[in-house]
Amino acid sequence: MRSADSTARDSGAAPRPPKLQVERLSKSYTMGGVHLPVLDAVSMAVAAGEFVSVIGPSGCGKSTLLNIVAGLEEPTQGTVLLDGAPANDRLGASAYMHQKDLLLPWRSVLDNAVLGLELRGVSRREAHRRAQALLPTFGLAGFEHQYPHALSGGMRQRAAFLRTVLAERPLLLLDEPFGALDALTRAGMQAWLLGLWQSLSKTIVLVTHDVDEALLLSDRVYVMTPRPGQVRTMLEVTLPRPRAYTLTTSHAFAQLRAGLLAMLWREGHEALR
Ligand SMILES: Nc1ncnc2c1ncn2[C@@H]1O[C@H](COP(=O)(O)OP(=O)(O)OP(=O)(O)O)[C@@H](O)[C@H]1O
Ligand SMILES: [Mg+2]
């Protein structure tokens, strides 16, 4: 949200640096002697408390971008800055929900949720206490001792999301968190995430394929080109908050949707050709 920054400007204080900055990030892989450029000079900035989406065609490097921001991979060129400082040692600085939910099948919901806390040395008892307190918010109360196979798709996503939030990091990276869900469950999860974000005051970078999801949730949307992924356009989502799912039927939403689809089309999204 921009309110914190505009307040700082109004009071004459120095504006806060963005929570996350990605500067001219490029990444290539070489496999079997074949050079594959995946990201090409990608730049973006996300203010503290902002909800930003990254949308682009399959294979354009969205997950690679999040892997680099999370510190799981290094860029071939370019810099990641956190709070205005180059973050070379950034592994663990953000909470990352991968494209697959990666729940461990042999651990209960509760034990999956506390994995990150345990790895950081928080006692099991304290980790369970923190997770238990959040179970109702995540719609998992009463299911904490179930194993992943006994959960619905939506519940699995919420369990993985609980684990991400329990990492207690101000920056959340979400890679298509609702991608595997049916349309109804997905709509419910989007509404739930909107409410949660407003109460958590986190900075969120969400990767999605879904135009409506990006518009409903975000303050801004970065549009990527097909591989090698570049960011050439960014859309400000000027819809008021708090938002509800019914907004998707409004005229303002339809106009933004048309604008975003036109950007995707210009950037060469094959599905729109
Ligand atoms: N470790 C790797 N080694 C080699 N190539 C890779 C590696 N990781 C990703 N790639 C390649 O990089 C490209 C981008 O992959 P990435 O997973 O970032 O795309 P994406 O935009 O997240 O796609 P999707 O929307 O389908 O999830 C793909 O062509 C993929 O094959
Ligand atoms: Mg991906």
Task: Taking each helix axis as running N to C, give the angle between helix 153-166 and helix 124-134, from 0 to 180 degrees, rounded to the nearest 10.
Answer: 130
Measured at the CA of 50, the angle between CA 118 and CA 261, to 5 degrees, comes to 115
Using the atom order of ligand 1, give the atom closest to the CA of residue 99. 27
What beta strand segments (E) does 4-120 contain?
Answer: 20-31, 34-46, 51-55, 77-82, 85-86, 95-97
Question: Tell me: the pLDDT tens digits for 167-211?
Answer: 889 999 999 988 878 888 888 888 888 888 888 889 999 999 899
Q: Give me the mean pLDDT over the 130-156 stretch.
A: 92
Which of 26, 27, 29 to mutate for ligand 1's pocket (most ligand atoms within 8 Å of CB)? 29
Q: Which residue has the higher pLDDT, 271 or 98?
A: 98
The pLDDT of residue 252 is 97
Pocket test for ligand 1, best of 36, 73, 97 (most atoms within 8 A of CB): 36
Sheet holding 171-175, edge to edge: 95-97, 171-175, 203-208, 51-55, 220-224, 231-236
- Which residue minimizes the CA distance to atom 1 of ligand 1? 29
Q: Which bound ligand lies closest to the C-alpha atom of 65?
A: 1
* pLDDT attached to residue 232: 86
Mean pLDDT of the chain: 90
Q: Which CATH class is domain 3-94+169-272?
A: alpha beta
Does residue 214 carry a pLDDT above 80?
A: yes
> What pLDDT, on a 0 to 100 scale, did the predictor assign at position 61?
96
Ligand 1 neighbours by CB, cut-off 6 Å:
29, 31, 36, 38, 58-64, 99, 227
Q: With 60 as the cut, is the pLDDT of residue 134 above it? A: yes
Kindly report the pTM of this predicted structure: 0.90
Sorting pLDDT into bands at 50, 70 and 90, what band is 45? very high
The full set of domain ranges for the chain reads 3-94+169-272, 102-168
Angstrom distance (rounded) from CA 127 to CA 149 = 23
| Residue 9, pLDDT score | 45
Q: Residue 272 has what pLDDT?
A: 54
pLDDT in tens, 75-131: 999 999 999 999 999 998 999 998 887 899 999 999 999 998 888 899 999 999 999
Question: In the prediction, which pLDDT does 198 show?
Answer: 81
Q: What is the pLDDT of residue 3?
A: 43
Tell me: pLDDT of 6 over 60: no
Residues with CB under 5 Å of ion ligand 2 are: 62-63, 99
Torsion of CA 43, 187, 99, 127, to 10 degrees: 100
Taking the C-alpha atoms of residue 24 and residue 68, their distance in angstroms, rounded to an integer, is: 12
